[in-house]
Each structure stands twice: as C-alpha cells, then as structure tokens.
Structure 1
C-alpha cells in the first residue's frame, strides 16, 4: 500500500501513459459503435394524418331503421399513412377511441373503415357513451405509397334520443407499425340532433 508511484513506473511493460493514451483513442471508436445501431434501427419512415378534419359528414343510425334517421355533423372523412422510406411488410394494427367531451346522452362510433378489418364489426358503447375498437391492415406498403383509410361514422340511437342539441367527442386513433412504433392521430367529432 505504501508503493511509490512515478510517471515512469512500468509493470509488465505497460505504463500509465500508454493506458491513458489507449483509452483516449478508443473512446471515439466505442462512441461510434454505440451510435451505429441506433441509426441503423431508425424504423419505418411513415407519416400519418387525418383526412378532411371538420368536414361535413353524416352519422348513420346505429339501428339503421327507416329514412330520415341520419344526423348531420362534422369530423374527418378518414386517415392516411404516407410511406416516405423503404418498402415494408407486416401488419399495421390500431385502436380507435371516441370519447364524449361534456355531458352527452348518446355515443358516436365508426360504422365502417375501408381498407382495414374493424373489430368489433358493429359499434358497442360503454355506459359513459365511449366507443373503442381495434383494426388490422395486413398489406405492408411500397416506397412512396399513400394508403387511405376512409371511414363512415354512426351515432348511438336510443329510445328517447336527444333533439335540438349538439354533442361533441374526441377521436383518438393509435397506429402500430410493423417496427413497433406508434403514430397517434387526434381529432374531433360533432353530432347535431
């Protein structure tokens, strides 16, 4: 423990200077090796967007009974994915949540979604008039492709349905791409009764 250290102390032919110099030269190599996997695994280069936000749309009746039962409103007409990078294969999955903002007495949901398989096929609502669904698209995408998902909406038709009022909802669509990354879209829906 009382060994005397000097700048020229050598054990087995290795000096402290050589060790320090070796560490100094290897740091850039180690830093490059650590950064390379992150750059190589940067993921799918895809962007997403709602199409036609706040467009005039028609909400179909959940019971589908008779003419004149549809309600006017506003919301997106669909969403799209644009692949700006390399082609990719694999399944694109997603979730949809439509939640009331404020007090409502009926829900709003997705009637159909072209291009993807929607589950449940018929909208179901919680006691708080919230709608949740999942969807799957199994086709992959080519480089530069725009993939559109048109949607139609419905309102929850109940006995004693509201009249002369407007209900508002938030729309959240979460997409999970084949590389495990998520894209989240948010918008709004209104239904006029």
Structure 2
C-alpha cells in the first residue's frame, strides 16, 4: 500500500475519531444540562437553592446530643441563631466563648456538619458547652441550608424569617449587631 494512501486513511480515522469524541461530549452535556427546556432558560431538573435573607428558614427535625428532639418549629415566636460548625474547625472553636455568652440572650442551635452524636457529645462535654448541639451525620440539615463551609451563621427572627447569613467567625460586636437585628436585645439588656 502506498505511503500516501496510509497517511490519508490515518487522517480520515483521526477525523472520524475526533467527530465521535465531540458527539459523545455533546451528548453528555445534553444529558446533564437537559434538552430544549434548558435552552428556553428553564432547568430540566430542580436545583437546590440556598435559603435567602428575607425568606423563610427551612424547617428541620433532628435529635440533639442528649437524644432530645429539636425542630425549628419549636422556636417559632422566638429569635434563633443557627450555627453550622464542626468539631475539627479551629475558627469555630475560637468563637465559641462569644457564642456561649450570647446564648443568654438568644436560643443558639449548633449544627455539626456530617458528624455523629458520640463525637459531638464528647466535644461539647470537653468544652463545657451549654448551647444546643445537634449532630447532622448525613448532612440533611446542612443540605437544606446549603451550608458548605464552617462556621456559617443563620440569624432568624421570631417569625421564622432569615434576617442574615454570615460566613466565618464573628466578633462580639458583630454578634451584638446580629442579635439586635433579630430582636434578641443588646448585651446591656441581658
């Protein structure tokens, strides 16, 4: 077989291979993104969205480290501070004394991302925590809030409306400001 014919066939196979690869990639994108609905600007499957400031806080039911039931509905009529954190998080641990002090003015529910009851109970005992500690071993609560980093703070007013969402450690002044915003009073009022 002449060399030019071999080169010609090799190029043809390379082009066919490239066309097949592009077709597979486009089919994958089409399958993931969806068909005509996506082109019209409508998602083909529902996409989880983070709860928004000014919107309702997603409800949840869980057990705290003592095996007691906890639900957001139980706090209706009172402001509440949901604190998403983890036992391994040094920033979370550093702000806990300020969180504990603030818990005299507002109900604080600390939700531990993907950690089990035994680990969280041991952590709370070692640190002498009095705030409500709720393990979230499969991440169900964290997912409903799309809390993917720690610490993440949700400040919720007595009506169950999210007033603010903050990420990272908070200073005592920032905590006071947020508690004022949800109607939990100032440090001076106690």
User: Same fold by TM (over 0.5)?
Assistant: no
Identify, as 1 or 2, the structure richer in strand. Answer: 1
Structure with larger Rg: 1
Identify, as 1 or 2, the structure richer in helix. Answer: 2
TM range (shorter): 0.3 to 0.5
TM-score by length of 1: 0.33
